[in-house]
Structure 1
Amino acid sequence: MKKLTRILSPLLIAFLVLGSLPVAAAPQASPASNLVSTQDALQADQVSADRERINEILARQDVQDQLVAQGVDPADVEARVAALSDEEVRQMADQLEELPAGASVVGVLFAVFVILLVTDILGLTNVFPFTR
């Protein structure tokens, strides 16, 4: 029994040490079967979310009406959005972020002017001298 323990103990220790070593993934023959990094997976999720957001905006009725008014078929727009590359989808989503939501700069300035005018007439502010 003692002789068996002397032979098996070093073998078990060697197997445990070798089993705990990290093993690198073997290179694959086809590029389609390569491992996907976390960064690539996150970028793919972001592109997918951007594409969905673009499709949601294009599916709104007011946008559809404007497309028809401009002479563009909504089905053509959907096909073109589906054909966009990932980089083009990112650029389009960034442009959507920068666009004003339902108002232009002139509209915002006009609204601020009206608010200041009303508060000046009520005596809450003193911005315009012609309201006194």
Structure 2
Amino acid sequence: MQILRRLTKPVSHLVVLGLLALSLHLPAAQAGMIGTEAVVNAAQAQQNRERLHNAFSRDDVQAQLLARGVDPAQVQARMDSLTDEEVQTLASNMDQLPAGGSVVGALVLIFLVLLVTDLLGLTNVYPFVKKSR
């Protein structure tokens, strides 16, 4: 019986020390209620991030980035580091900006098309164009 007590005493000390060591390193879990607004904001932020990634991963956008000397991988890395507020601002600005340019650009294009057709004699829009007939 004495032999058994001598063997169990060090083993029990090791078990107690092991349990104490495990309990000291594990933080206590804390639970709480998550509001609906937090869930909706997180889902909206994720949706905006996916939308930006889809927009910047298009071939024409990446070609324009490369033409301007910007590495598309660097753009993706920077987009991943944006905060949720910055992603929201960028996504809302994408909705508000014109897709193809400005109104002034469209007016200049129309002016040039009418000028060329007037020079070719197909139309008679501008009185200052001298037509050769």
Query: What's the TM-score once normalised by structure 1's chain length?
Result: 0.57
| Unaligned segments of structure 1, at least 5 residues | 1-27, 118-127
**CA RMSD, 1 decimal:** 2.6
1:48-98 superposed Cα distances (whole Å, 9 cap, x missing partner): 111111111101111101111111111111111111100010011111111
Measure, in 1, the Cα distance between the counterparts of 2:68 and 2:32.
45
Is 1:86–2:80 an aligned residue pair? no
Give 1:96's match in structure 2, choosing from 91, 94, 99: 94
Percent identity for Structure 1 against Structure 2:
44
The amino acid across from 2:104 in the alignment is: V
Q: How far did 1:29 drift?
A: 5.9
Equivalenced residue count is: 88
User: 1:49 is paired with a residue of what secondary structure?
Assistant: helix
Measure, in 2, the Cα distance between the counterparts of 1:108 and 1:62.
21
Question: Larger Cα Rg: Structure 1 or Structure 2?
Answer: 2
Is 1:46–2:44 an aligned residue pair? yes
The amino acid across from 1:68 in the alignment is: L
Q: How far did 1:109 drift?
A: 3.6
Structure 1's consecutive aligned runs of 4 or more residues displaced over 4 angstroms after TM superposition are 110-114
- Cα 1:37–1:112 change in 2 (3 A) is farther
Query: What's the TM-score once normalised by structure 2's chain length?
Result: 0.57
